[in-house]
Structure 1
Amino acid sequence: MTIDDPATHASIAAMFARYEQALGSNDIAALDAFFWDSPQTIRYGVGEALYGFEAISAFRKARPGGSPARTLAHQAITTFGQDFAITNTEFHRAGEARGGRQSQVWVRFADVGWRIVAAHVSLAAETS
């Protein structure tokens, strides 16, 4: 198995950038399209645990204004073969003292291309 094949790495880096653009503009249709349409898809958020594509989609549609504006730091992408990748990044939301972390597991499906099959978003613990 090839780890960090340049073409695969570039492909998922482009997908991650498009995801971030859709998140920042609250493009719900695009955000839905990034996730695997399956009851097996999972997204753990800052305040929610979502099981299945339908729950993830419903959460996005119900969140007023979308995700808070944020800047990214320390992005890490690792690919395994040509069809599996993990992305990790730290972020800082405008107006939030705590930093956050985001992890995504991506799989490239023959029929639909790259999709997120699992995601986790968290904020760092509060400091005094």
Structure 2
Amino acid sequence: MTIDDPQVLAEVTAAFHAYEAALMADDIPAMDALFHDAPTTVRYGVGEVLYGIDAIREFRKGRGGSPQRTLGRVAIATYGRDLATADAEFYREGSQRRGRQSQTWVRFADGWKVVSAHVSLEGTTA
């Protein structure tokens, strides 16, 4: 298995940044297009636990947009041609508190999709 093949890494990096841009613009269709359309897709957020793409979509519609943020360190790794992880630190506007985001990406026939995501803030006990 090849780890961090440059072409695959470039593809996943582009997908990651496309998702970040969609998140900051509250572009729900673009965000939905980058998550796997399946009941097996999972997203754990700072205050929510969502199982399945339908629950994720409902959450996004009702949220009114993500808090704006700046990315810190981003670590993307690929494993073979069809699996990748993306881990990022972020800082919300007006806060020094570090957030963390982990995503598992899988290549499907229609492109790279997030199948699992986890977002948290340091020091959160909930």
Letter in 2 for 1:125: G
Q: Which ranges of structure 1 fall in alignment gaps of 5 or more residues?
A: none
The alpha-carbon deviation at position 95 of structure 1 amounts to: 2.0
| Structure 1 partner of 2:78 | 79
CA distance in 2, matches of 1:109, 1:99: 32
CA distance in 2, matches of 1:63, 1:95: 19
List 4+ stretches of structure 1 deviating above 6 A.
Answer: none
| 1:65-113 residue CA offsets vs partner (Å, 9 max, x unmatched) | x001100011000000111000000000012342100000000012x11
| Structure 2 partner of 1:122 | 120
| Structure 1 partner of 2:59 | 59
For the aligned residues, what is the CA RMSD? 0.9
CA distance in 1, matches of 2:54, 2:122: 28
| 1:7-46 residue CA offsets vs partner (Å, 9 max, x unmatched) | 0000000001110100000000001111100000000000
| Structure 2 partner of 1:19 | 19
CA distance in 1, matches of 2:26, 2:79: 30
Give the structure-1-normalised TM-score. 0.94
Letter in 2 for 1:122: S
| Structure 2 partner of 1:99 | 98
Give the structure-2-normalised TM-score. 0.96
| Structure 2 partner of 1:50 | 50
How many residues in Structure 1 have an aligned counterpart in Structure 2? 124
